[in-house]
Amino acid sequence: MPNVTVFDVNGNKVSELALSESIFSIEPNVSAMHLMVKAYLANQRQGTQSTLTRSEVSGGGKKPWRQKGSGRARQGSTRAPQWYHGGIAHGPKPRTYGLDVNKKVKRLAMKSALSTKVLDGEMIVLDELKLDAIKTKEIVKVLAALETGKKTLIVLPEKDDIIYRSARNIAGVKVSLVNTLNVYDILNCNSMIVLKDAVAKIEEVYA
């Protein structure tokens, strides 16, 4: 069973916390994590791009010149793809890029991502994080005390607007809840700060 050090907001060691071996100490499955990241990025695409085909471009109803005798190539419409202001051939049309992932693969990918962070020493457990008012400087102080990386993910057990609004203007910092946590955000950060209560919730959800 892996143990991690619990820190306070000043970067001091408070205690040790035993993590669930079935969640934070499994053999990371790279294929499952890759599939989840691929699905996450695909699902972010709106798929609203669209071009006009020759039937959708205005004009072009009249044959530009007669079929034979002019010496020029035969043409049936000035809205064919080879013409200026013509329609686009094989252009993009609105579509869904979303990918479906099996529920078991999702769970495996999440456990693998969490285990990877623990294995690499990039998961920091914080005793508690409370602010009386919205102050970005306070979050900056906490990050400096914990010596976090360039990209930091803060995982909260429940919604806290004060913390979210205090951290949202800091470059490279993202705040997430346990129920909105995803594999991409976990792997994309250099440091993952998880509140002690959030660890308990993660173990409850993925046990």
Task: Look at residue 1 in the predicted model and tell me its pLDDT.
Answer: 72
Residue 61 has pLDDT above 80, yes or no: yes
Tokens of 84: 């200026």
Angle at 195 between CA 106 and CA 153, to 5 degrees: 60
The model's pLDDT over 63-73, given as tens digits with 9 standing for 90+, comes to 999 999 999 99
- Give the pLDDT of residue 157: 94
Domain ranges across the chain = 3-46+100-206, 51-91
Q: How far is CA 173 from the centre of its chain?
A: 13
Helix axes 30-43, 103-119, angle to 10 degrees: 110
Q: State pTM to two decimals.
A: 0.84
Q: Report whether pLDDT(148) > 90.
A: yes
pLDDT of residue 153: 97
- Token pair listed for 53: 């085909």
- DSSP classification of residue 100: -
CB within 8 Å of 43: residues ≥ 6 apart: 97, 98, 99
Q: What is the pLDDT of residue 149?
A: 87
On whether the CB atoms of residues 175 and 164 are closer than 8 A, the answer is yes
User: What are 1's two structure tokens?
Assistant: 């069973």
Q: In the prediction, which pLDDT does 207 show?
A: 80
The DSSP output letter for 87 is: P
Query: Angle at the Cα of 15 (from 12 to 182), degrees rounded to 5?
Result: 85
Contact yes or no for 132/153 (Cβ under 8 A): no
The CATH number of 3-46+100-206 is: 3.40.1370.10
Q: Kindly report, residue by residue over 153-164, the tens digit of the pLDDT.
A: 999 999 999 999
The predicted-structure confidence for 170-200, as pLDDT tens digits, reads as follows 999 999 999 999 999 999 999 999 999 999 9
pLDDT confidence bin for 2, thresholds 50/70/90: confident
| Mean of per-residue pLDDT scores for the chain | 94
CA distance 61 to 77: 7
pLDDT digits (tens, 9 = 90+) for 21-46: 999 999 999 999 999 999 999 999 99
What pLDDT was estimated at residue 123?
95
Q: Across 62-199, where does the E strand assignment appear?
A: 123-126, 152-156, 173-177, 191-195
Q: How many whole angstroms separate alpha carbon 195 and alpha carbon 201?
A: 10
Q: What is the distance between the alpha carbons of residues 40 and 97, in angstroms, rounded to a whole number?
A: 10
Q: d(Cα 184, Cα 151) in Å, to the nearest integer?
A: 13
Task: Using a pLDDT cut of 70, give the percent of the chain over it.
Answer: 100
User: pLDDT grade, residue 92 (50/70/90)?
Assistant: very high
Q: Which residues contact 190 (CB under 8 A, 6 or more apart)?
A: 122, 148, 149, 150, 151, 152
Name the token pair of 185: 């955000």
